[in-house]
Structure 1
Amino acid sequence: MSEMVLRSQWFDYFSKRILNDFGIVVSDIENYQPDLSPIVYCCLLNRRVINKKRKIIYSKAFLESNWYNDERWIKLKDLIEEGGDINCYMSKAINEWKAVDYLLYTYNVSHFHLHKDKKGGIRNELVFGVFTHDCFYAICVGGHNDIYKPDELIGRAYDAWPTEIYDYELNSKKNNKFDQGFFKRQANIPELQFNKANSTPIKNGKGEVIAHVDKFQHTLLVNLTLNDIEYKSIPYSVYCAYLNEIKHIEEIEMSLVNNVKADKMDLIILPEKKMYEVIVHNRISFKKSIPFRRKVLICTLYNQ
């Protein structure tokens, strides 16, 4: 597609947001092209926890553990309840836009460290749980090896909240087994990563399968090609947001070109008002305000 003025300015808006919000210079990104900037921005947001006050709901195992009264956890608990920034306790890969948090993407389980330095989370102690819009379901505190045991983490969630955060099939006759070793290879080898296809068995204390969990992915993963360059394992929600908004931007531009013969225009994006403003520089300049499309996910409002 030939160069379009408003679309180009939309790309530039996100390259500036990437620098201002995350301190990342887009020219340092491998295979970067201007068209990629909204996708990079949303991918960075996709693994982050939006800062907002949340109620913490504990599993029984967490409540009965020594961690419940540990001062390190209490510090993080206060941060979550107050709506502070928990992302500084996440993996140091939080600012790598192509990094895949396979536990989060595949099972919607977040994990973050109890300690941090200037670059992010450090040491082995990790908090595991599920963030929703208003709550954090605290499953347990574990170590790095637990990242590769989603079946055990989901089993604990089933014991604590059998109806709240996952969909379960009770008394299922399915015999599929979960292979922790294969999941670890998937998580660490990009070529093996794919969206979970099979349900995961939940066992009781005797090792008997009592339920299967399904329909709980944080996101699907897709491959995306922009200008003949392929980018792998892009969150599907990011892909949808990109298509939704770029289509709208292009429609706005073509409408102005066709109706008022506009060729010099400036795009102003106002997320707080959920509006675009376009200043058209014709013989008589004018400004046109266009609302964001409703009920669709777009890059500009991705964190909402």
Structure 2
Amino acid sequence: MGDDLIYAIVQNESIYVINLGKHNDIFKPGELIEACENEWPGMHFDLESDDNNSSISMDNDFFRQNACNPQLGFTLLKPAAFTDKTSGKVKYISNHQNTAMISYESQEGTWNLPLKCVMAFDHEEKLIYKFIKDIYFHYGTFPDSLELDLKNRKYIFKVPTIRGYGDYIITKRDAHRYLTASFPCDEAEINWQL
């Protein structure tokens, strides 16, 4: 009691119980879809296979982290997916995607941005601050410039040395495969249409 939830699909006058689970199971949408497909194949979802291994789905920890961020009003960023045990292929619901828009008020008016775009900026800002703290910890000073290596997906920081102006330590950091505004990946393609 209290933490128990019934996950089900209600359709017309029928109810299809997928799982009796806990609240945290909501952060594992792929597993719920897989359970439903195992019981009623092809009945509730139109599934597609990720034949190109393009990482169209998100991992559970990333889903949970952003679903719990009230600033984002998070619904879904990428389709919920699972690995089919029979074929070994990643399968996902073709029409299970984010459509949320986030509104920002400014002096010029209101900006309506797709959730993917907001998350890309939010994630990259946190990532860069993390890198700056790490650089300060290792070198005892903050970097004074940042460049992007778009081809190799790297951030290039210049860290001044005690020798003075123009003498730098160059340090590089990898851009993660999660969404970033500077290094968009396949998952980060943004649809600007309202």
Q: Same fold (TM over 0.5)?
A: no
TM-score by length of 1: 0.30
More strand by share: 2
Q: TM-score, normalised by structure 2?
A: 0.44
